Structure 1
């Protein structure tokens, strides 16, 4: 035993594997709210691991307490000193002491002795696939499923029913946002930046309002435009899908429009979200627009309830992308966090609408994701070219001639493509079913213009997949790239990448990165025909929206590089402030907002537009010290830290001067 058990962490794992895991599972379920309160009181937020560990050893007494406490505190120093400093070590030591002292006996009611299992209510509107495959997997019973079940539903080829995340109501937050209609200014910024699509604006007519529960309290809608009909507005939360990160509260510009409330108080609102906010019949097409942050948030998110970390910045961009183009989008996703949270079966957050339209998603490798998405583009393009030949023939033969002519004229128009495609399909379904007609109907899914995206992190875009990105962008075809830049390999433990800036610490750069961050956007601008944008949603939501809209509308290659605060950056204020962190990064000049649009060249305009204001570089050090990936350098390598910090400040200034010159030329 001594050869295996090296610390209290190892012992805890051994005991759990030995069958005492019920203790932690029950204690976690029963006292989550209490332990969160204790952690918050000493400054650890939701980090309750040491409180629970202290309570475990105090109650089980599997080793002498003085030895357990000594070893737990030694582990705290080894785990946190280099990353966060002595202050965080002291907080975690205090958490150990709290866990040892704060446990209380919970009396079990005598009536429980005769209790029987109550049937758990199954989710509503389950498809057969969800009932027979997803729910058993979600209950950790996948090993009981026979191969024949997977064969029955046709998933042996790797396809999977999308939208299954809606059935995984986790309810893990102990406190969630509560909406105040009197204080809300209806800007929809909270919905825009919610990582999980768990808070959504809803518009109802007076007639619709009369048909929903009285508890669905609304306020008169405002700011929709002078010609907009009279609507009633509500910002509705999904308590069971919310992770309690608090991003929406920190991003809200109106005091007290959103406030914290206990989960137990708010969980009764779940039916209001499921039956009203998720009801597509209430979507208002006359209001939905991609021209403003407020109006685009009334659109359906085709990416919802992912398993991303609380406060994740990556999912905010993916969700917005899906609201803009989700009903006709193809996504090739590089390996990494974005693929893990997008395709972690059985919970898939990409979903369909009531017409069956939605994103087609596939996971690819690090090194070839851009080429993989390029394959999507070529495959659907080849099929459509065959369709165009046959539709032209039908038009000339007088079969659905009017609809065929409209399709041939407008299939490539993003605004009209779906409309003319649907009209052609309806006309052909009524026509004589010749081989030509049957071929078009059999391939109807390829009629509407597709929006092809390669999505991935900086490890893919800056490093391992860069060669593929360069190759695809150089082809001058209509393929779009979304880069989720966390400035580190997040999914594999926080290794340094070429996106990691000077002085940041990471695995393989423990003593601080010595060279500047690679300027991916500037490299691709050199082609002259690639649309390039750099965005940070927390700094400017409107600029983010505009960049995505422009990139997709550009009939050529495009890339949008998104700043994504991450757990691996160790933000001192916590991931609930990830949107604020983006704002600070832009204000001090650490990150810049710009758009390079080749279409402006033909108009005689400068294609490069610097969207962020002149930064206050005196605040760069304040920004760096707000993240432990930078601040820890001073703790561990004080002799090198100041020089590397100074170099990073100079890198920041030099980068801005380059962009400023580009904007002036």
Structure 2
């Protein structure tokens, strides 16, 4: 079958333009039930790509982030960590910026346009020093995608370039005007995007456009950030047209396919909880038959899809040698079905099916370590990482894409309602999980040597050769108890004076045992 014939068959299967205009239009207008006939795309379980870009969340939260442009350094943290593709950046050459600014007649709008930009050391001074045309770095907020989680403000931190304001203080039209300017600006020229500065990947229109926002994920959802970052890193190197996804049923499939809204612009399919790895193997084999060996295939799943009911299929995939990447969205709980315990849950963690009480102090089983189990399969690339460590995350994804065989990346994902933390705390909690040995960073690359010590790298973790890192504020060890103290799922383990109970101390001992095992495997003990 020719490529042209394949494209025609796909068009006959789903008219994407008609889907966006007619079907999404009716849903947005609230008239779908009355105006739409029986829908063939529903029967076929098809949704056009990128339709979630047409979804408007501006009514959800009372507050929205506002840029204090003079404080912005162009670090890209806010763009990277936003789970909803609601805050994006562009670098505009100085001459183009001045032309655009001069073309705006209204003084207030001119001031607003200029207020999105700053001369940063990264994109202005460094470029000018090398003899290039310096660029103005701009940050823009899409009011239709922002849910008001304030994650961007949290990760901006001491830069203080973002703060939250009530939407009615400036009015939504003010933000819509700013977003219109973003859309009208040219894409960031390649010369401002450094392949050595991995966070720059989100400046690439192709990379950032793989996940358009508008998904129904919770405010501040850690999973959505992981998906955005994985797709951006893959598209930046290999191109958007060379990506496919197979997703196990879970949160990621629910918020990404709430009909008729699809945040992906790459092809993806949904399988049952237990079948993502098996389905991905079949897709890979068919792609290879078609000569599509260069395409990057990712299987997605959470605790159920990869740790539990889908674990057998995952193990079989890893033993197959097939070139399939697996992204495990590790929330340590069954987030989608109401917060039940999984084998990835921590010892002592309170969740549904592991209630804390007199008879049982929460979960009484040790956590399953999927990364270590995956490493014991022959010739499998494995990484354990978090979105709060973007360089480590991006290197892990790029390594998985380069590796000619199975690859597994386990990502720590904050689940705000089930972990009992604030909507803006996804990155903060992920960092703390690493600092307290709750979730160590690691990369296992079979190409690095014959021994495990050569293959395993624990770089990125604090105090590599020590049991615990030290809290610079107190001079005391940072332990799992310090992590647990910040999350609602462990709150019942502390007495009124803040002292941990024995089960939490047991969990701390287990996390230390796990860390020491990793140190030993990596040749650090």
Whole-Å Cα distance in 1 between the matches of residues 113 and 149 of structure 2? 24
Whole-Å Cα distance in 2 between the matches of residues 521 and 579 of structure 1? 21
Whole-Å Cα distance in 2 between the matches of residues 651 and 541 of structure 1? 27
- Cα deviation for residue 379 of structure 1 reads 1.6
Tell me, yes or no, if the aligned pair for 1:531 and 1:598 is still in contact at 8 Å: yes
For 1:481, the equivalent position in structure 2 comes to 326
For 2:480, the equivalent position in structure 1 comes to 620
Q: Does the C-alpha gap of structure 1 residues 467 and 250 become closer, same or farther in structure 2, counting only changes over 3 Å?
A: same
- The answer as to 2:22 corresponding to 1:132 is yes
Tell me, yes or no, if the aligned pair for 2:63 and 2:164 is still in contact at 8 Å: yes
For 2:501, the equivalent position in structure 1 comes to 642
Tell me, yes or no, if the aligned pair for 1:176 and 1:266 is still in contact at 8 Å: no
Whole-Å Cα distance in 2 between the matches of residues 571 and 182 of structure 1? 35
Q: 1:222 aligns with which of 96, 121, 125?
A: 121
The answer for unaligned runs of 5 or more in structure 2 is 1-15, 105-109, 357-361, 470-476
For 1:292, the equivalent position in structure 2 comes to 197
284-293 or 186-195, which deviates more? 284-293
**What is the 5 A alignment of 1:385-464?**
449-464=294-309
The answer for unaligned runs of 5 or more in structure 1 is 1-125, 352-358, 385-445
For 2:172, the equivalent position in structure 1 comes to 267
Q: Does the C-alpha gap of structure 1 residues 263 and 333 become closer, same or farther in structure 2, counting only changes over 3 Å?
A: same
For 2:408, the equivalent position in structure 1 comes to 559
Q: How many residue pairs are counted as aligned between the two chains?
A: 464
Q: Larger Cα Rg: Structure 1 or Structure 2?
A: 1
Whole-Å Cα distance in 1 between the matches of residues 340 and 96 of structure 2? 52
Q: Does the C-alpha gap of structure 1 residues 632 and 523 become closer, same or farther in structure 2, counting only changes over 3 Å?
A: same
**Alignment root-mean-square deviation, CA:** 2.5
**What is the 5 A alignment of 1:459-538?**
459-511=304-356, 512-538=362-388
For 2:155, the equivalent position in structure 1 comes to 251
For 1:597, the equivalent position in structure 2 comes to 445
**What is the 5 A alignment of 1:78-227?**
127-147=17-37, 150-151=39-40, 156-171=43-58, 172-209=60-97, 210-211=99-100, 213=104, 214=110, 215-217=112-114, 218-224=117-123, 226=127, 227=130
Tell me, yes or no, if the aligned pair for 2:73 and 2:120 is still in contact at 8 Å: no
574-583 or 321-330, which deviates more? 321-330
- Cα deviation for residue 223 of structure 1 reads 1.5
Whole-Å Cα distance in 2 between the matches of residues 287 and 461 of structure 1? 39
**What is the 5 A alignment of 1:355-374?**
359-374=266-281
Higher relative contact order structure (alpha carbons within 8 Å, sequence separation ≥ 6): 2
Whole-Å Cα distance in 2 between the matches of residues 528 and 281 of structure 1? 47
SS where residue 200 of structure 2 aligns? helix
Q: Does the C-alpha gap of structure 1 residues 367 and 293 become closer, same or farther in structure 2, counting only changes over 3 Å?
A: same
Q: Does the C-alpha gap of structure 1 residues 273 and 127 become closer, same or farther in structure 2, counting only changes over 3 Å?
A: farther
Q: Does the C-alpha gap of structure 1 residues 603 and 634 become closer, same or farther in structure 2, counting only changes over 3 Å?
A: closer
Cα deviation, 1:198-219, whole Å, max 9, x if unaligned, reads 0111111234322365332222
What is the TM-score with the length of structure 2 in the denominator? Answer: 0.83
Which of the pair is proportionally richer in helix? Answer: 1
Whole-Å Cα distance in 1 between the matches of residues 160 and 191 of structure 2? 30
Tell me, yes or no, if the aligned pair for 2:327 and 2:408 is still in contact at 8 Å: yes
- Cα deviation for residue 575 of structure 1 reads 2.1
- Cα deviation for residue 266 of structure 1 reads 5.4
Tell me, yes or no, if the aligned pair for 1:191 and 1:199 is still in contact at 8 Å: yes
Tell me, yes or no, if the aligned pair for 1:314 and 1:484 is still in contact at 8 Å: yes
Q: Does the C-alpha gap of structure 1 residues 593 and 556 become closer, same or farther in structure 2, counting only changes over 3 Å?
A: same
Whole-Å Cα distance in 2 between the matches of residues 566 and 187 of structure 1? 25
- Cα deviation for residue 235 of structure 1 reads 0.9
- Cα deviation for residue 340 of structure 1 reads 0.9
- Cα deviation for residue 316 of structure 1 reads 0.6
Whole-Å Cα distance in 2 between the matches of residues 555 and 269 of structure 1? 49
Tell me, yes or no, if the aligned pair for 1:343 and 1:363 is still in contact at 8 Å: no
- Cα deviation for residue 129 of structure 1 reads 2.3
For 1:232, the equivalent position in structure 2 comes to 136
Q: 1:321 aligns with which of 230, 235, 256?
A: 230
For 1:109, the equivalent position in structure 2 comes to none
Q: Does the C-alpha gap of structure 1 residues 175 and 530 become closer, same or farther in structure 2, counting only changes over 3 Å?
A: same
